[in-house]
Amino acid sequence: MPHMGEAYQGLDEEEIRLEEVHLDTHQGLIFGRIADEGPSLETYLGDFAWYLDVLFGTTEDGMTVVGEPHRWESDHDWKTSADNFSGDSYHVLTTHQAGLETENLARGPWEELNDFPGASYLACTDRHSVGYYLSEDADTFMGYPDEITEHLNPDLGDEQRELFGRSVFHFGTLFPNMSIIHGIQSGGWGGPWACIRKWNPRGPGKTETTSWWLIPRELADDESFLEDSHRGWESLSPGGAFESDDLTIWEGISDSSGAVTHELRETEGNMQQGMDEMTDEVETVDDPLHGPAEVTSKGLYFDERNSRTLLQSWYEMMRMEGDA
Ligand SMILES: [Fe+2]
């Protein structure tokens, strides 16, 4: 309040002070809760903390943000992109077909993983979701330089270490609007890189996206790695090959979801993919590598379980009473 003494004489500052936000951290990530009463961060993350640790706590010094984040606004509803990151593998082979089939680029580590995919998982806790592509090779480490193994965090559990070791790609959404992605890109598109996304609603059908690029702190001076990692991150920037594909689809989904014909003709969307009556490929997974969350499929999966969980959670939150 500029010139407060002259412009607001006698003002009781206590009456107009800013609302307090209750802060807590996990692996260096800062979260805020506006409501006075509510779950602690530990309770809110629940089993999902295990998966966040596999991204943010794999090396002793942890992950660090490089440079400024990308920010852009697009004509899509934030839930569409949060849903996409929560575990949508179905779209990859069509939406990103051109990028995946590009042949005039140097072959990347993806192709060298000739046993890929060893396994893939979709896992979700009560609200949060992740997906993994895994190699059979226990020393894959998402294509990081070999020295990454010298820096592994001793606090990682055996399963977390093995999961990281076999990982090719890892993505997910922390309900409601924070997403993560970590891995190498196919076809020489670069990487490995990690990214945090924040889907910020800017009104109906408008989202401001912030995208941070992260790397293991121990590799911050490795110029060759930085170049590859930056290339991977930029492939998912608003001007990148893969993000350009996604943005067009997200906008189309948001647009058509609001079409008046849905009301007039009483049509409904379909999100049954992966349910028992839709596929016979869903199987229970005993492999402990999937962590503490519930896993619904293994193999090359098509399953909207994570999407259903996210949208159901949003529906329930919107029906809550009070300020919880
Ligand atoms: Fe995509």
For 212, the token pair is 């941070």
CA of 101 to the centre of ligand 1 (A): 15
CA of 93 to the centre of ligand 1 (A): 9
| Ordered DSSP codes for 121-178 | EEEE-SS-EEEEEE-S-TT-GGG--GGGGGGB-TTS-HHHHHHHHHEEEEEEEETTTE
Terminal-residue alpha carbon distance, the chain: 31
On whether residue 6 sits in a domain, the answer given is no
- On whether both 144 and 27 belong to a single domain, the answer is no
CA of 96 to the centre of ligand 1 (A): 7
pLDDT of 317 higher than 50: yes
| CA-wise closest residue to 194 among 167, 176, 163, 155 | 167
Residue percentage of the chain with pLDDT more than 70: 88
Residues 6 or more apart in contact with residue 138 via CB below 8 angstroms:
162, 165, 166
CA of 277 to the centre of ligand 1 (A): 26
CA of 56 to the centre of ligand 1 (A): 22
The residues that bridge with 172 in the sheet, in sequence order, are: 130, 180
- On whether both 293 and 217 belong to a single domain, the answer is yes
CA of 318 to the centre of ligand 1 (A): 27
- pLDDT band at residue 298 using 50, 70 and 90 as cut-offs: low
- On whether both 50 and 28 belong to a single domain, the answer is no
The residues that bridge with 97 in the sheet, in sequence order, are: none
CA of 67 to the centre of ligand 1 (A): 24
- On whether both 38 and 183 belong to a single domain, the answer is no
- On whether both 25 and 113 belong to a single domain, the answer is no
Contact predicate 42/35, CB 8 Å: no
- On whether both 22 and 114 belong to a single domain, the answer is no
Can you say how many angstroms the Cα of residue 279 is from the centroid of all Cα atoms in its chain?
26
Model's pTM, two decimal places?
0.89
The residues that bridge with 128 in the sheet, in sequence order, are: none
CA of 322 to the centre of ligand 1 (A): 36
Per-residue pLDDT at 112: 46
Residues 6 or more apart in contact with residue 99 via CB below 8 angstroms:
186, 187, 189, 235, 241, 242, 245
Contact predicate 130/124, CB 8 Å: yes
CA of 243 to the centre of ligand 1 (A): 7
CA of 147 to the centre of ligand 1 (A): 30
CA of 137 to the centre of ligand 1 (A): 25
pLDDT of 83 higher than 70: yes
- Letter string b/e over residues 203-221, b meaning 16 or more CB atoms within 10 A of that residue's CB: eebebebebbbbbbebbee
For 307, the token pair is 């999407």
On whether residue 8 sits in a domain, the answer given is no
On whether residue 9 sits in a domain, the answer given is no
On whether residue 3 sits in a domain, the answer given is no
CA of 198 to the centre of ligand 1 (A): 16
Looking only at Cα atoms, what is the longest distance across the chain? 74
Per-residue pLDDT at 17: 85
- On whether both 81 and 28 belong to a single domain, the answer is no
CA of 245 to the centre of ligand 1 (A): 7
CA of 92 to the centre of ligand 1 (A): 6
Q: What is the pLDDT of residues 255-289, one digit of tens each?
A: 888 888 888 988 888 888 888 777 665 566 667 77
CA of 290 to the centre of ligand 1 (A): 22
- On whether both 254 and 207 belong to a single domain, the answer is yes
Q: What is the number of structural domains in the chain? A: 2
For 82, the token pair is 């949060």
The structure tokens 């480490």 sit at 141
- On whether both 36 and 64 belong to a single domain, the answer is no
CA of 33 to the centre of ligand 1 (A): 30
CA of 89 to the centre of ligand 1 (A): 8
| CA-wise closest residue to 193 among 157, 227, 162 | 227
pLDDT of 36 higher than 50: yes
SS3 state of residue 319: coil
- On whether both 25 and 138 belong to a single domain, the answer is no
Per-residue pLDDT at 113: 43
Question: Alpha-carbon dihedral of residues 296, 299, 301, 306, nearest 10 degrees?
Answer: 30
Side chain identity at 296, as an amino acid letter? T
- pLDDT band at residue 40 using 50, 70 and 90 as cut-offs: very high
- On whether both 147 and 21 belong to a single domain, the answer is no
Side chain identity at 56, as an amino acid letter? F
Contact predicate 122/171, CB 8 Å: no
- On whether both 220 and 237 belong to a single domain, the answer is yes
On whether residue 260 sits in a domain, the answer given is yes
On whether residue 37 sits in a domain, the answer given is yes
Q: What is the pLDDT of residues 85-139, one digit of tens each?
A: 998 888 887 888 777 776 545 554 455 444 455 677 778 888 999 988 888 888 9
Contact predicate 187/108, CB 8 Å: yes
CA of 144 to the centre of ligand 1 (A): 22
Per-residue pLDDT at 296: 62
CATH number at 124 reads: 3.90.380.10
CA atoms within 13 A on the CB side of 163: 26
CA of 173 to the centre of ligand 1 (A): 14
DSSP annotation of 59 reads B
On whether residue 242 sits in a domain, the answer given is yes
Q: Which domain holds residue 40?
A: 15-45
Contact predicate 85/171, CB 8 Å: yes
Report the alpha-carbon distance of residue 246 to residue 45 in Å, rounded.
27
- Kindly report the average pLDDT of the chain as a whole number: 86
SS3 state of residue 212: strand
On whether residue 324 sits in a domain, the answer given is no
Average pLDDT (20-33) is: 95
SS3 state of residue 284: coil
